Structure 1
Amino acid sequence: MAQTTRTFLAIDVPSPVAERLAKLQTRLSPLLPEFRWNDAAPFHMTLAFLGDVPFTELKDVCDAAVKAARACKRFEVRIAGLGAFPKPERPRVIWAGFDGPGLEPLAALHKAVVSNLRKVGRQPEDVRFSPHVTLGRLRTGRDKRPTSTTIPAADLTEILEQFREWTAGEFTVGEVVAYSSTLTPEGPTHAPLVRGGLASAKPRPET
């Protein structure tokens, strides 16, 4: 059986913005004790999750990431607001979203990533695109804390409304990163395989 690695392509969140996300987790933690908070560094926004990829195909995936990045110019995005999957009334995942004019180039980058992956025969597990940064997941099974504070998942509608105007600020999207991911009892750990830089947004000087 071919050796494989769990693989995904993503955008990293830089430190200043990541610190604000971590502070938000600290604020939410006592309100939602039934959630386990994501501490896999760095915070990121997934562009394409590929699942288990054979080692022999990793180079093609990395090349696809680099080509997709080169096809897009750098742009600004803003992390703002909270949401939940599959819905606030019965949440399993709580996340920070994106808004503003950066959504259009972000969607174009996602399209370029999916297109280049398909060219090397790697279809993402889900091509739907809902840009977000995962903050926490509902504890399930053995992951639940055996304490009196652990309760069934609450309706998050009111909490999401309280943080409707919250923002972690803007940052420049400058690269696409291909990651390998290893699942552990403490949560997933990620290691970068390749970083592909986006093209400069500044026009080249005339000669």
Structure 2
Amino acid sequence: MAQTTRTFLAIDVPSPISERLSKLQARLAPLVPEFRWTDGAPFHMTLAFLGDVPYIDLNAVCEAAAKAARTCKRFEVRIAGLGAFPKPDRPRVAWAGFDGPGVEPLAALHKAVVDHLRAIGRPPEDTRFTPHVTLGRLKAGRGKGPTAVAPPDLGEILARYHDWSAGEFTVGEVVAYSSTLTPEGPTHAALARGPLASARTRTET
């Protein structure tokens, strides 16, 4: 059987913004003890999750990421507001969202990544796109089985942080990551980095 690694493409969140996200987690943790809050610094925003990719295909994935990045110019994006999947009253994932003018070029970057991955026969497991940074997940075993504790309702907390923002940063590259699952949560290692284009070097798909 071919060796594989869990692989995804993402945008890194810079340290100053990551620090604000970590501080937010610290404020939320005592309010929502049912969640395990990610040790995510530096945080990232996933553009495409590929699942298990054979080692022999990793170079093609990294090249596709680099080519997609070169079709998009650098842009500013803002992390703001909180949300939950699948819905606030029965959450399994808590996240910080994105808003402002940067959402449109972010969607364009996502489309370029998906298109280039499809071209090499490695489309993402899910092409739906809700840009977010994961903050925490419901602890294992919660909300399951006959004796399970119901997930918390995050509606009030999300409303309280409706106007919260971690600030803006420049999206300058796409990063290909491998991900290893551990009892403490996933650990990530960068495989390759593909810089976005400047106004002068942008290429067409």
Q: Which interval holds the TM-score relative to the shorter structure? A: over 0.9
Matching residue of 1:104: 104
Q: Is the 8 A contact 1:6 1:53 kept in 2?
A: yes
Q: Is the 8 A contact 2:81 2:164 kept in 1?
A: yes
* Offset, 1:140: 1.7
Provide the C-alpha distance between the structure 2 equivalents of 1:28 and 1:40, rounded to a whole number of angstroms: 15
Over the residues paired in the alignment, what is the CA RMSD in angstroms? Answer: 1.8
Deviation, structure 1 residue 188: 0.3
Cα drift, residue 141 of structure 1:
2.5
TM superposition shift of 1:202 = 6.6
Give the share of equivalent positions with the same residue, in percent.
77
Partner of 1:116: 116
- Paired residue for 1:88? 88
| Residue number in structure 1 paired with 2:145 | none
- Do structure 1's residue 53 and structure 2's residue 44 form an aligned pair? no
Distance in 2 (CA, whole Å) between partners of 1:154 and 1:42 is 27
Which residue of 1 is the match for residue 181 of structure 2? Answer: 183
After TM superposition, give the deviation of residue 203 of structure 1 in Å: 8.6
- Report if the CA contact (8 A) 2:19-2:41 is conserved: no
Mapping of 1:54-203 within 5 angstroms? Answer: 54-141=54-141, 152-201=150-199
Q: Name the TM-score, length of structure 1 as normaliser.
A: 0.92
Q: Give per-residue Cα distances to partners, 1:52-83, cap 9 Å, x unaligned.
A: 00000000000000000001000000000000
Question: Residues 96-127 of structure 1: CA distance to partner in whole angstroms, max 9, x if unpaired?
Answer: 00000000000000000000001111010000
Change (3 A) 1:176 1:203: closer
Structure 1 runs of 4+ aligned residues shifted over 6 Å read: none
Assess if the C-alpha contact under 8 Å between 1:74 and 1:174 holds in 2. yes
For 1:53, give the aligned amino acid.
Answer: V
Q: CA–CA distance in 2 between the matches of 1:201 and 1:35? A: 42
Q: C-alpha separation between the residues in 1 aligned to 2:27 and 2:150?
A: 19
Count of residue pairs the alignment pairs up: 198
Tell me the alpha carbon deviations over residues 162-189 of structure 1, each in whole angstroms, 9 at most, x when there is no partner.
Answer: 0000000000000000000000001000
Residue 146 (structure 1) aligns with: none
Change (3 A) 1:166 1:135: same
Partners in 2 of 1:23 and 1:134 — Cα distance?
Answer: 14
* Unpaired runs of at least 5, structure 1: 143-149
Shift of 1:151: 5.6
Match of 1:145 in 2: none
Whole-Å separation in 2 of the counterparts to 1:76 and 1:98: 11
**1:43 to 2:29 alignment:** no
**2:112 partner SS:** helix
Structure 2 gaps, min length 5: 143-147
How far apart are 1:152 and its partner, in Å? 3.4
